[in-house]
Amino acid sequence: LPLPCSAGSLCLALLLPVVAGLEFSYHHSEQLETFLKEVHQQHPSITALRSIGRSVAGRDLWVLVVGRFPTQHTIGIPEFKYIANMHGDETVGRELLLHLIDFLVTNDQSDPVVTRLINSTRIHIMPSMNPDGFEATTVHDCYYSEGRFNKNGEDLNRNFPDVFNSNNVTIQPETQAVINWIQNETFVLSANLHGGALVASYTFDNGNPATGFLQGYSRSRDDDVFIHLARTYSSNHASMYKGNECGNKPVFPYGITNGYAWYQLKGGMQDYNYIWGQCFEITLELSCCKYPPASQLQAFWNDNKAALIEYIKQVHLGVKGQVLDRHGQPIPNVIVEAKGREHICPYRTNRHGEYYLLLLPGSYVLNATAPGSGSILKTLLVPNSPENFSALKYDFVFPEVSTLARDASCPIKPLYQDFESISAAVKPTLHFLALMTVLYTVFK
């Protein structure tokens, strides 16, 4: 019989080691594919399996979707994703996601938390973005191997368009498949799983004066939300929150870091998600050793499983809803954002007229702007919605709507470069103000 537990907290089943089911070993491409197909065959009502593309060597990039409505998007159900193994020699995340799949499908209808997650969320899981690199890693090294790169020798986490600098690289098949996937879904929250450290890293990875990188920290408009997301994972992990578990790495307070504050990275996946995918993504470094022995995998699962589940719940932060006309028909391409949190590439409604805004509890003024039809402002008090497995719902209704442009997407170019000249113009003023502050303090 299932153990009793409350629907709003993690069950005891989540805290106990798995004693049966998927083995704790490294699964190569054929084994991984076999496992995913078996899961789908055994749980067809809550899973969907598809390849979103192929690697350079022709290996499928498999994604298993778990949800009550797994085959297609359902209005009001947010889309979530985990991606692992984009560096082929960083292997722990690959196995953790296989065990997460196993945990979700075997605990549906018995564990209330898992059941409510599956009822309220469409969860996409990609165990390996770089299967060629994984298969090429023959020496299990803690620090580095050629398997980091894809078969063309490219680093996939330097291969995305960059919002700060021109990224003159050839987009790889694996990268293009993920870009297409992001553009075809309405992803709200995501994490990509890496290895080589133990920390949760968040946007921005790159920067310029417009995001404050002169102070060694590249800040987004949603910095508070990103800090919350990173701390959600680190605080639910067995030891990440300590911040100093890898002796050869910096100390990370609370086990989190701004990406740029750690090291600058151009062409990263998490920045691309935030700017062009309307999806908040963080990077999870989950093991001090990139490719640890298989004997340690069960310990890694026990350390991470509560955090993996709790992080998915955060897709229900904030506000969601639709923008409709007076006849109740959805309006696509409407800009919906919270005042003071406008994105350089405005967040717009999808073809169903839906919007999703990740916001911490508090009072916000939402602004819905339909080009040619004006704006509607609404003040909302946002609760702590993840505990209820649903963001606050609010629909905007426009009485009159003009014809909207079909393609309202932002150009794929370094959008923040336009702000550098502005920042340079105000820089002398900022220096003067800083000097006056110092002088005032000294004389006082």
Q: Which of the residues are catalytic?
A: 285
What's the 3-state SS for 385-425?
HHHHCCCEECCEEECCCCCCCCCCCCCCCCCCHHHHHHHHH
* Residue 368 backbone phi and psi in degrees, to 5: -105, 120
Asked if 100 contacts 81 with a C-beta cutoff of 8 angstroms, the reply is no
DSSP state of 301: H
Dihedral sign, CA of 200, 205, 209, 211? negative
- Per 3-state DSSP, the chain is made up of helix, strand and coil in percentages (nearest 5) of 35, 20, 45
* Contact by Cβ (8 Å): 118, 104: yes
Among positive and negative, which fits the CA dihedral 154, 87, 43, 385?
A: negative
* CA dihedral over 137, 138, 139, 140, signed as positive or negative: positive
Q: Which run of H or E residues covers position 434?
A: helix 417-443
DSSP H stretches of helix in 285-416: 297-313
Would you call 273 helix, strand, or coil by DSSP?
A: helix
